[in-house]
């Protein structure tokens, strides 16, 4: 290895492994540096040794900060070294082949879709039956019945999700300084908004949710409204 390359290695070591600093000290361009790197195995190995030594030094400083109880350093270490244990904020990126596979609906997705359609159909049938029995149903309500049925099914799904084991209504986030910040799980707001839309949609069908305050003749329609009010409350 010639003298200029040796001087570059010395400059690289003195410059804490920073390529630009070493190039400037020796008076060579980055193009020359990369030509040396790709054409000289001995030079390449020495560059890698300098870089690894610098990383070792920085890691030792990081560990020192961790032993001193520095929260930011602890979080950084866990996010980099503890990824396999779940210490990462980045969502796992799907593999390309899985993206292609998921582009077409599989049997489970088709089944879920059919189940969803069946639930909506059952809600529509029941709503129409109750409206007819109370003398409230007209052809003009067809679209509103469909919308209401979809909202009812959506509310049921959200309810199951937020009642599921392991669900957390509050998210905990950490700042770069390690400070905790609590935020409400978006599903909580979505569930409340869906219930409000359900209530408005039921009212648009002429279904009174305040039947307890305005007692009427006890029939299937009123029983349904009582059950709906319990679900919304």
pLDDT in tens, 162-202: 888 888 887 777 766 667 777 888 888 888 899 889 888 88
Indicate whether 112 and 208 sit together in one domain. Answer: yes
For 121-170, how does the pLDDT look when each residue is reduced to its tens digit (9 = 90+)? 999 999 999 889 888 888 888 889 999 999 999 889 988 888 888 888 87
Residue 196 forms part of a structural domain = yes
Indicate whether 32 and 68 sit together in one domain. Answer: yes
Give the number of other CB atoms < 10 A from CB of residue 191.
Answer: 19
Query: Which structural domain, as residue segments, surrounds residue 30?
Result: 3-85
Indicate whether 111 and 79 sit together in one domain. Answer: no
pLDDT of residue 226: 56
Q: Which two tokens stand for residue 83?
A: 């990824």
pLDDT of residue 42: 92
Most confident of the following: 68-72, 141-145, 211-215: 141-145
Q: Which two tokens stand for residue 196?
A: 């409000």
The answer, yes or no, to whether residue 39 has pLDDT greater than 80, is: yes
The answer, yes or no, to whether residue 104 has pLDDT greater than 70, is: no
DSSP 3-state assignment of 172? strand
Which of 60-69, 75-84, 136-145, 203-212 has the weakest average pLDDT?
203-212
The answer, yes or no, to whether residue 218 has pLDDT greater than 50, is: no
Residue 155 forms part of a structural domain = yes
Q: What is the DSSP string of 142-171?
A: HHHHHHHHHHHHHHHHHHHHHHSTT--SEE
Indicate whether 74 and 112 sit together in one domain. Answer: no
The answer, yes or no, to whether residue 31 has pLDDT greater than 80, is: yes
Q: Tell me the CB-side half-sphere exposure of residue 227, using CA atoms within 13 A.
A: 9
Distance (Å, whole) CA 147 – CA 48: 64
pLDDT of residue 164: 86
Indicate whether 151 and 217 sit together in one domain. Answer: yes
Indicate whether 128 and 162 sit together in one domain. Answer: yes
Indicate whether 118 and 80 sit together in one domain. Answer: no
Q: Which residues contact 159 (CB under 8 A, 6 or more apart)?
A: 191, 231
Q: Which residues contact 211 (CB under 8 A, 6 or more apart)?
A: 222, 225, 226, 229
Question: In this predicted model, which residue has the larger pLDDT, 80 or 11?
Answer: 11
Give the number of other CB atoms < 10 A from CB of residue 126.
Answer: 15
Quote the mean pLDDT of the chain: 78
Indicate whether 20 and 70 sit together in one domain. Answer: yes
Indicate whether 196 and 123 sit together in one domain. Answer: yes
Distance (Å, whole) CA 136 – CA 140: 11
Domain boundary (41, 56, 85) is at 85
Q: How many domains does the chain have?
A: 2
Indicate whether 138 and 46 sit together in one domain. Answer: no
What crossing angle do the helices spanning 30-39 and 41-67 adopt, rounded to 10°? 110
Contact of 127 with 148, CB cutoff 8 Å: yes
Instruction: Band the pLDDT of 118: cuts 50, 70, 90.
Output: very high
State which H helix or E strand residue 18 sits in: none
* Of 51, 45, 42, 57, nearest in space to 22 by CA: 51
Length of the chain: 233
Residue 101 forms part of a structural domain = no
């Amino acid at each position: 290895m010639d003298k200029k390359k040796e001087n570059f290695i010395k400059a690289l070591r003195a410059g804490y492994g920073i390529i630009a600093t070493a190039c400037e000290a020796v008076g060579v361009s980055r193009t020359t540096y990369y030509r040396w790197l790709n054409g000289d195995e001995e030079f390449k190995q020495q560059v890698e040794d300098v870089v690894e030594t610098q990383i070792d030094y920085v890691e030792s400083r990081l560990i020192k900060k961790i032993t001193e109880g520095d929260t930011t350093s602890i979080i950084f270490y866990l996010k980099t070294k503890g990824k396999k244990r779940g210490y990462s904020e980045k969502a796992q990126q799907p593999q390309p082949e899985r993206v292609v596979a998921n582009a077409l609906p599989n049997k489970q997705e088709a089944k879920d879709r059919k189940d969803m359609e069946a639930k909506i159909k059952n809600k529509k049938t029941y709503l129409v039956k109750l409206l007819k029995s109370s003398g409230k149903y007209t052809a003009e309500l067809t679209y509103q019945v469909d919308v209401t049925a979809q909202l009812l099914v959506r509310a049921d799904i959200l309810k199951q999700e937020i009642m599921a084991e392991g669900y957390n209504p509050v998210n905990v986030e950490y700042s770069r300084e390690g400070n905790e910040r609590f935020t409400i799980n978006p599903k909580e707001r979505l569930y409340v908004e869906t219930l409000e839309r359900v209530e408005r949609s039921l009212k648009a069908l002429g279904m009174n949710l305040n039947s307890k305050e305005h007692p009427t003749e006890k029939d299937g329609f009123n029983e349904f409204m009582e059950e709906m009010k319990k679900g919304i409350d």
